[in-house]
Chains A and B, each alone.
Chain A
Amino acid sequence: MEVRAFSKSYDQNPVLRFPAFSFEKGAVYAVIGANGSGKSTFARVLAGALFCDQKSSPLPAGCKVGYMPQKSYGFRMSVEKNILLGGKDRQRARQMMEGLAITHLAERRADRLSGGETARMALVRTLMKPYDLVLLDEPTAAMDIASAALAENCILDYRRETGGVMVIVTHSLKQARRLGDQVLFFHQGNLLEWGPSAQVLEQPEQEETRRFLEFYGA
């Protein structure tokens, strides 16, 4: 999947510059970088939630995109109804709810869940149907360790089933290693380094990447 080069500025201050890039089908891309490095802006532009400076989507025409925003939102209806907004297959919904241990929450109002429960529901909702590109912005940030492990299994199952491109923004380098085939490192609004996970996380070429990894204890 070819992504055109794009940039994003706020009040003429550039916050993101992304070069033309080719996503490999079926691969998982872990996006890492410090706060304010442009990771979420990158995800939001690809999702269509933000206009880039070029005013047109950098993705190929007709590309179906699924996106889980950084702040999960539970609509004022039951968890099950929320999940069915993502896709109509009730059996799949039940399976995925089991996978993320939220079956007991099915009838609960989604706007009254805890942050971690909302994130689990939002992940199931996003992965209800196949997309060409799935963007998950810090999907496990609000979850406890056990729920995050279930979420990671769920993400890997989805990848096996659908074979689309997955982009996961994360602050956890361990998660980037576990989930990502490739790692994209953002620094001050630029894609500074990218490549296979093992290479970027263990033998980074750029000094900034090395410093970041040392600081975050990779």
Chain B
Amino acid sequence: MKGNKDMQTAIQKAIALIVSGDRELCNILLVTAKMSLSSSFFALCIGVPVGIWLGSGRFPGRGVLVVLNRTLMGMPPVVCGLLFYMLFSGVGPFRKLHLLFTVTIMILAQLCLITPLVIGNMETYVSGIAGSVRETAMGLGLGPVKTFFLLANESLYQIFSVYLLAFARAIAEVGAVSMVGGAIAWKTNVMTTAIMQYTNRGNFSLGIALGMILMTVSLCVNIVITLLQRRFR
């Protein structure tokens, strides 16, 4: 009974925090939005063309690249975080860039995690349609650039789906961003790292508030992308 009451109080406090526009909460939201939107957008910019190229290309070594990418798709976030930590820490080769514990390195680490997912999904989809598109385009005397854009146009629906996947991974990710970002309050704390922090401190209301917002943001992005998908289907 007491547990239920505590939970109820925490949820009430969480709603009050959201409604009052708590400054710390707003800051966490802004950092999260900046990080997840940037990393998913850049992952899409890199991953879509590479995925199309890999899915439609006929060149030696293509199979090796596909296997390599599929391996990177399963990279644990903490391993990615560790790698970036070592590269940018005081003893790493990129220490002079002073990027450790900044939002920029969090975006870079996420880019490293998400881009293989975008490439892999695009490659799988494009390889299914590439034969027909390439053969038809070749029969019309169209060059490789035009064929590439035709493939991109044919994959438009898939590109939206892949963006959803990239964004979902970015906003829900915790391992890599906590290692390279350090979850510093007012600077690099994002929703997932903040939920962990506040839960550890026993501050359930802020944790629940963040959890509710995280799910709501995810729902909103899904609705927008689904509507766009319908429009461009």
A-to-B contact residues, CB < 8 Å: 44, 47-49, 64-69, 71-73, 75-77, 85-86, 122, 125-126, 129, 131, 135
Contacts and interface: CB of A to CB of B under 8 A. Distances in A.
Contact of A75 (B134, B135, B138, B150): B150
B154 A66 contact: no
Contact of B132 (A68, A73, A125): A73
Contact of B141 (A44, A64, A135): A64
A75 B139 contact: no
B67 interface: no
B138 A49 contact: yes
A187 to B, nearest CB: 25
A76 B138 contact: no
A69 B132 contact: yes
14 contacts: A49-B135, A49-B139, A64-B141, A67-B138, A69-B136, A69-B139, A71-B132, A73-B135, A75-B133, A75-B150, A75-B154, A76-B153, A122-B136, A135-B139
Measured as residues with beta carbon below 8 angstroms from the partner, the interface class of chain B is 10 to 19
Given A69-B132, A71-B132, A77 B153 contact: yes
Contacts of B142: 85
Given A64-B141, A66-B141, A73 B136 contact: yes
B56 to A, nearest CB: 13
B220 interface: no
B156 interface: yes
Contacts of A77: 153
Contacts of A126: 139-140
Interface in B90-141: 132-141
Nearest to B233: A76
Interface in B129-165: 132-142, 150, 153-154, 156
A69 to B, nearest CB: 5
B135 A69 contact: yes
A66 B140 CA distance: 6
A10 to B, nearest CB: 15
Nearest to B131: A49
Contact of A86 (B133, B135, B140): B140
A72 B135 CA distance: 10
A48 B143 CA distance: 13
Contacts of A65: 139, 141
A71 B136 CA distance: 9
Contact of B140 (A44, A76, A85, A135): A85
B138 A48 contact: yes
A68 B139 CA distance: 6
